[in-house]
Amino acid sequence: MSRRVALALAVLVAAGGAAPPGHAQHRMPEHGQHRMPEPAQGQHHTPEGWTFGLPKGEPAKGRQAFAKFECYKCHEVKGETFPAAQDRENVGPELSMMGPMHDAEYFAESIVNPTKVIDPGKGYAAKDGSSKMPSFNDSMTVQELVDLVAYLKSLRPPGGASGHTQH
Ligand code: HEC
């Protein structure tokens, strides 16, 4: 076998993943010179381009969770009829227009980590800079979170009018 063919084969094998034992010495010489440090055994690398992904939830169950956790106490949802809506303090933003605006994962973050992103200048933050939205992390199941996100994603402003531009 010519050296060129052997090199091409070695590159193919290397690209395909596991090289059979004994073939490592056929690798292109440059690999040896610029070798990245080998990860410690058992250590894994996150795949390139990876993003966090939630499973699909059920909007109807998410609506029940919205009522159970009394999210309506701070959030108006136009077109919905949640109990005690008349006592609402509108501490947080109206949510019906948000369905088309955000990814599911953004909604999930806004529930499990509300302080991470706060719209400035709207009185949403407490004096110490944290969100006025409480944490539900001790009482909410992951499934409830997933369904809540599906519910929020399903929301549309009544009449289809959105005061916000999509991004
Ligand atoms: C005590 C009031 C309060 C309660 C209860 C509350 N929120 Fe909030 N929420 C806020 C405030 C204030 C903000 C704006 C600050 C922020 O982004 O954290 C907010 C923000 C949000 C946002 C993000 C909006 C955006 O533009 O980023 C979502 C989604 C949301 N809340 C969903 C919920 C859900 C679901 C529940 C119930 C599990 C809930 N909230 C309960 C006060 C509340």
Q: Confirm or reject: Cβ of 124 under 6 Å from ligand 1.
A: yes
Cβ–Cβ under 8 Å, residues 62 and 149: yes
Start-to-end CA distance of the chain, whole Å, equals 57
77 Cβ neighbours under 8 A, 6+ residues apart:
66, 94, 95, 96, 155
Q: What gap in Å lies between CA 136 and CA 145, rounded to an integer?
A: 10
Q: What gap in Å lies between CA 74 and CA 136, rounded to an integer?
A: 14
Which tokens belong to 151?
A: 């519910």
Q: Which of 6-15, 51-60, 118-127, 157-166 has the lowest mean pLDDT?
A: 6-15
> If you measure from the C-alpha of residue 159 to the centroid of ligand 1, how many angstroms do you get, rounded to a whole number?
23
Q: What gap in Å lies between CA 122 and CA 113, rounded to an integer?
A: 18
Look at residue 117 in the predicted model and tell me its pLDDT: 95
Cβ–Cβ under 8 Å, residues 68 and 113: no
Look at residue 83 in the predicted model and tell me its pLDDT: 72
Question: What are the backbone angles phi and psi of residue 23, rounded to the nearest 5°?
Answer: -90, -10
Look at residue 86 in the predicted model and tell me its pLDDT: 60
Cβ–Cβ under 8 Å, residues 36 and 23: no
Q: Confirm or reject: Cβ of 155 under 6 Å from ligand 1.
A: no
Give 104-135 pLDDT, tens digit per residue: 999 999 999 999 999 999 999 999 999 999 99
From atom 43 of ligand 1, which residue's Cα is the shortest distance away?
133
Which tokens belong to 166?
A: 């999509």
Cβ–Cβ under 8 Å, residues 96 and 158: yes
> If you measure from the C-alpha of residue 10 to the centroid of ligand 1, how many angstroms do you get, rounded to a whole number?
55
From atom 39 of ligand 1, which residue's Cα is the shortest distance away?
71
pLDDT at 88 over 70: no
The two most distant CA atoms of the chain are separated, in Å, by: 83
From atom 20 of ligand 1, which residue's Cα is the shortest distance away?
92
Look at residue 9 in the predicted model and tell me its pLDDT: 44
Give 30-69 pLDDT, tens digit per residue: 544 556 566 566 667 899 999 999 999 999 999 999 999 9
From atom 5 of ligand 1, which residue's Cα is the shortest distance away?
71
